[in-house]
Structure 1
Amino acid sequence: MGIKSLVKKWIGVQDKETTSADVAVLERSETVFLEKDKKLNEQIEYAAIFNMIQQEVALTGIVLASQYDEELASDVVKVEVSGIPVVITREELGCTPHNLPLMRYVGETIQFQLIEANEANGLVMGSAKKIKEKEFDKLYHELKEGKQFQAKVTKILRYGAYCVIGDISVQMLNKDFAEDHTTIGDVLEIGDTIDVRFNRITENKNLRVEPLVRYKNGVSVSLTELEPNQVVLGTVRSVKKWGIFVRIAPNLDALCSIPSHLAVREGDKVSFRITQVLKEEKRVRGKIVRLIKKD
């Protein structure tokens, strides 16, 4: 029962001739009580908000909306903490300006922490990036100390692959994957997992890993089938300062010098002329004749 009802009941019992003026006074009094209650609740809520900011509490919430905020001059997403709206800007999501629209986050559950609260305008700001930075630092130190993890392949590129350990993205390069010039894409697919350890961290804070055991393929083609002056189809596997490796048969890479008349990249299809077949060493040398244009 509310304050108004209780007071009216009390008046009805004490004085059957209560005037409308008395009721009006009571209603004004109730409004004052409710406003004080509201202010007290707001103070309690903001006290909790400020405490969470100070303690850097990790929170979890569902993204309820995305939009462009003119005052913040940024795309933002909105979540809630105890019914209080929290705004997270694109930068604090950890997204670059070239990422996809933030609407893709709507409905997703994200981790974040509160970083700022303004009682005057009722604005509470959050950051998912700070949570990711803490997770990144923790993973980096654990890897560096020798801990091994299972990484999941999320994207394959011509020079390597992106993987995730938990929610943290890491890189693995082809040159760190195999003892020969087999690429990650030759062996693994998106969704595959591989046991990895620390390799290094770049100046741009890209965390790189390598397999616990590097992949190695035996030569599966007979070198007796290859002869000097043969021209075969090849794929550029690795470009070094001193030469280029071209795959000319399953698990067989041939070495050639860098052509002065062509600009070649890893993954390019080329016409390759064999110049030497070193059977005892299981090596082939040659030169790139031309690039094979893609349709």
Structure 2
Amino acid sequence: MKFLPEGLLCESEENKRYFENLNTLYEAMAESRTLEARAVVCEGSHNLIVDLGVIKGVIPREEAAIGIAEGTTRDIAIISRVNKPVCFKITAFERDCYGKTVAVLSRRKAQLECQEKFLANLRPGDIIPARVTHLEQFGAFVDIGCGIVSLIPIDMISVSRISHPKDRFYVGENIRAVVKSIEGNRISLTHKELLGTWEENVSQYEPGETVSGVIRSVEDYGIFVELAPNLAGLAELKAGVHPGQQASVYIKSMIPDKMKVKLIIVDAFDEEIPLPPLRYYIDKGHLSHWIYSPVQSEKLIETVFDE
């Protein structure tokens, strides 16, 4: 079985087949199949009600997530699932007070299986799918399987520095990430290694071109302009420019041994432009060692995954 972030299984034909009738739901229970459907209500007692199409499903509070019964996971983790897909296993069928059949579900059991059969087998350098769940100043929280969340620290998101993860991601975005380290059940992630080396990024540009960019910081000695998530250049100072602005910049020169791109700002302006799709130079498999800097560079920037 393939373990995916919540929301990616919901619309698959295989998943939909089990909601056709009661017989297929019984089949899913017999096979201990992990399914996915939308949670529609969180009761006052924090039981989650799930729409199974032909019948109603109930995830008891203690079965809503790993750690709820132990008190290590807060109830907000249950409440926040309303109107979103949730994964679960069917554990029983019961009759409610009206005599109607109700499926008893467990999200916790689906998460435990994901931990044991997928996450426990990961090692640093593995590239995995993830879905952005929420963004904080210090990093992006992402679902790495069955609603189990991990963190990409802000400095691991890209080589080009950003002031907030919202400058790079949006909630609900499907991304790729790399396992950085593992301590027990805690998995730390990185992302910048998938966005290309200096040479891969700079190969998209030529001196003499005028291209688009984003103002990232204004320093006493110049203005840093992001050309791509893993590539920024330094422009000459220009009055009235501030971080977050869109810009058009002229490329003066590229200096591989110093990893520098020299720019001149033609124009800088305030405009909300949707985040462009991320370009991944690597999106699957395993990374043992990643070097960002070119061979002739005076400075070495690298990530070592396999010690």
TM-score norm. by structure 2 comes to: 0.40
Question: Greater relative contact order: 1 or 2 (C-alpha under 8 angstroms, separation 6 or more)?
Answer: 2
TM-score norm. by structure 1 comes to: 0.41
Q: Point out the structure with max Rg over C-alpha.
A: 1
Higher relative helix content: 1
